[in-house]
Structure 1
Amino acid sequence: MIEQIEQEEMKIIVFQLKDKEYALPVNHVKAIEKIIHITRVPKTVPFIKGVINLRGVIIPIIDLRIRFAIDDQVYTEQTRIIIVTLDEMDVGLIVDSANDVIDIFMENIEPQPDVVGSIADEFISGVVKLDKRLLILLNLEKVLNPEETLLSVKEG
């Protein structure tokens, strides 16, 4: 008897920060919005830009460029806020652009390469090579580490 091995697929959303492509599992993504007015919240860490009111829901906003210590950039027409949900909490992530949604095979996810001195290392769960593209999969739990991020909004 021949067993058929099914490859597990994962749908990811691909987005850009500076010159790199990052990805998040689509099951964590609630919406992708154009940049809108962000209300600053006093006494928060620098990468928390503030909060937005999105259809009656107040959502904290994190600028991933600042979170990953990448050069700051002026927001453009391409800038997007990716609304993600983790542990029943919605958070917006500011990215340079949201590129596409693609399917990848779980077996194609490789462990993150050892890059000495990269601040974003701790936020990476793996990488995926697709043709000439290298997608960096983010570990959302670490990016949204409540001890560093979300609690500071509430305490502020």
Structure 2
Amino acid sequence: MSQELKVIVFALADEEYGVEVEKVRTIERMQPLTRVPKTPGFVKGVINLRGVVTPVIDLRGRFGFPETQYTDNSRIIIVGVEDLEVGMIVDSANDVIDVDPELIDDPPEIVGGIKAKYLQGIAKVGEHRLLILLNLKEVLSKNEIVQLDNIEE
């Protein structure tokens, strides 16, 4: 049996998504964001997180979902992608679960309006639960990472 994959589960537009625990630095409550001019619309700004300026994107905006008001459940999941830390605003962060890698299927072309390149796979969890696993390198593509790098300087 292969090694279980630890995944942080979060909600976005009525779907459940997952990201590998080892890529997550911290999960924060919503906090004031400082807007940065000349960035894509889904880049909401930066936060000062324990002395580190961290760019923050809204995953709803990134995937073309309608944006909503942030609530008490909204969270900023700080993830590490290559040498960059980025915050992703999600509707809520629910859970940490173990996923059997043998129960992860390749993503179909489009899932809930999200292109397959943003997805690592679809995990079957239990009888009726599907978890959409994100491919963080694509969610934050190289060009955008370069743009976000410039924010930090």
Same fold (TM over 0.5): yes
Q: Does 1:54 align with 2:34?
A: no
Does the alignment pair 1:42 with 2:37? yes
Q: Counterpart in 2 of 1:71?
A: 66
Q: What is the rounded CA distance, in whole Å, between the counterparts of 1:56 and 1:112 in structure 2? A: 38
Contact 2:109 2:115 in 1 (8 A): no
In structure 1, list runs of 5 or more residues that go unmatched.
Answer: 1-5
- Residue 90 of structure 1 corresponds to 85
Distance 1:125 1:136 in 2: 8
Match of 1:134 in 2: 130
SS, match of residue 68 in structure 2: coil
Tell whether the 8 Å contact from 1:45 to 1:152 is kept in structure 2 after alignment.
no
2: CA distance, partners of 1:71 / 1:117: 13
Shift of the alpha carbon at 1:116?
A: 8.1
Shift in Å, 1:146: 2.5
RMSD across aligned positions (CA): 1.8
Tell me which moved more, 132-141 or 116-125. Answer: 116-125
Aligned residue among 17, 41, 44 for 1:22: 17
Q: Distance in 2 between matches of 1:57 and 1:98?
A: 22
Q: What does residue 10 of structure 1 align with? A: 5
TM-score by length of 2: 0.92
Superposition deviation, residue 53 in structure 1: 0.1
Cα gap change, 1:103/1:150 in structure 2, threshold over 3 Å: closer, same or farther? same
- Pick one of 107, 116, 122 that aligns with 2:117: 122
Note the alpha carbon deviations across 1:22-68, whole angstroms, 9 max, x for none.
00000000000000010000000111001000110100001000000
- Distance in structure 1 (CA, Å) of the matches to 2:46 and 2:66: 22
Taking only the aligned residue pairs, the percentage that are identical comes to 49
The aligned amino acid for 1:61 is: V
Q: Supply the AA of the counterpart residue of 2:99.
A: I
Q: How does 1:101-116 map to 2 (within 5 A)?
A: 101-115=96-110
- How many aligned residue pairs are there? 150
